[in-house]
């Protein structure tokens, strides 16, 4: 059983919050997409912009017969605090009142520095583990994008860097977001969901295209797992996002949830600088417990 198959029963936005807390894994290797590996050879190419009117450039988008979010069995085992378990059946809601826009983490094992615009098994798998179940409470959108690959990250960590085009991944996500806004959103509320490299790209999107701009009123929440979002020490707003506070109550909208999870018996090393620590003066890494937004522990 994977963490993505263990859920608590709840409805609406509360379900989104609890589910991402369980769906996000503590995959440190994937999380290292947030920083360039040693010897990184980043470059910007003249690659053409993706046309997101193409169905095959989306992993999930309502109405597609081959939609990844509609392929797998999303029935889940609910584990209660007392150790009992039961099966919760999954029911997709095609008439859900809100949308979810998801950017997946670093999963591509393609041989180059950037992933091709073709669907790999790893992308299908991570969508099924982290995102597909959101279709019970929102319309799911998940663009394919030319992410920096695991191949490139591993090469850099081994001291043999390969050329990568880091701006290309963001350009794809921005193009997909723009297409979604103009053709699919129709003024609906939307939750942005990311993990690892996906969170990095969504944070950049919020900073450049959403934070403090008119479109911000459509954002129900921004859920950034496996990523370091910085806020002024002791405060919930400011830092990386200027006009979007951290979420502190289940009914709050227009806010951000940020956390990174680790096994209790395997904490990050003292010199870890990707998660949980900010080195900028006056700033600290945001920490929002998705199981207890107001603070403290939560099941």
pLDDT at 9: 35
Mean pLDDT, residues 107-113 taken together: 96
pLDDT at 272: 64
pLDDT at 266: 84
Predicted TM-score of the model (pTM): 0.85
Q: How far apart are CA 128 and CA 25, in angstroms?
A: 13
Mean pLDDT of the chain: 85
Q: How far apart are CA 33 and CA 30, in angstroms?
A: 6
Query: Which position has the higher pLDDT, 267 or 238?
Result: 238
Q: How far apart are CA 149 and CA 160, in angstroms?
A: 14
Q: How many CA atoms lie within 13 A of 189 on its CB side?
A: 14
pLDDT reading at 84 higher than 80:
yes
Going by their DSSP bridges, the two strands 163-164 and 41-42 should be labelled as parallel
Q: By mean pLDDT, which of 7-11, 14-18, 183-187, 250-254 is the weakest?
A: 7-11
Q: Which two tokens stand for residue 167?
A: 């701006």
Q: How far apart are CA 277 and CA 219, in angstroms?
A: 27
Strand partners, 148: 114
Q: By mean pLDDT, which of 110-124, 193-207, 275-289 is the weakest?
A: 275-289
pLDDT at 30: 35
pLDDT reading at 16 higher than 60:
no
CA 104 to chain centre: 6
The beta-strand segments (E) located in 30-89 are 41-42, 58-60, 76-79, 85-88
**For residue 209, what are the contacts with CB-CB under 8 A and spacing of at least 6?**
174, 177, 215
Q: How far apart are CA 171 and CA 118, in angstroms?
A: 17
Mean pLDDT, residues 209-217 taken together: 97
């Amino acid at each position: 059983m994977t963490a993505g198959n263990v859920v608590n029963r709840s409805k609406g936005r509360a379900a989104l919050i609890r589910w991402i807390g369980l769906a996000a894994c503590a995959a440190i290797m994937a999380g290292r997409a947030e920083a360039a590996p040693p010897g990184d050879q980043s470059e910007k190419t003249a690659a053409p912009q993706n046309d997101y009117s193409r169905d095959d450039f989306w992993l999930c988008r309502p109405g597609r017969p081959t939609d990844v979010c509609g392929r797998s069995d999303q029935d889940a085992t609910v584990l209660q605090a007392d150790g009992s378990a039961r099966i919760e059946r999954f029911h997709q809601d095609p008439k859900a009142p809100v949308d979810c826009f998801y950017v997946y983490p670093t999963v591509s094992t393609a041989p180059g520095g950037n992933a091709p615009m073709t669907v790999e098994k790893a992308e299908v798998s991570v969508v099924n583990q982290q995102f597909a179940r959101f279709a019970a409470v929102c319309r799911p959108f998940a663009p394919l994008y030319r992410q920096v690959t695991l191949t490139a990250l591993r090469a850099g960590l081994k001291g043999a860097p390969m050329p990568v085009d880091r701006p290309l991944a963001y350009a794809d996500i921005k193009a997909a977001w723009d297409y979604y806004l103009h053709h699919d959103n129709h003024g609906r509320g939307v939750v942005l969901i990311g993990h690892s490299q996906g969170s990095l790209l969504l944070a950049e999107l919020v900073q450049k295209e959403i934070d403090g701009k008119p479109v911000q009123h459509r954002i129900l929440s921004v859920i950034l797992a496996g990523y370091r979002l910085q806020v002024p020490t002791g405060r919930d707003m400011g830092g990386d996002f200027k006009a979007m506070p951290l979420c502190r109550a289940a009914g709050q909208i227009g806010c951000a949830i940020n956390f990174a999870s680790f096994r209790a018996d395997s904490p990050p090393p003292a010199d870890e600088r990707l998660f949980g620590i900010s080195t900028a003066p006056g700033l600290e890494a945001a920490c929002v417990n998705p199981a207890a937004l107001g603070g403290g522990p939560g099941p």
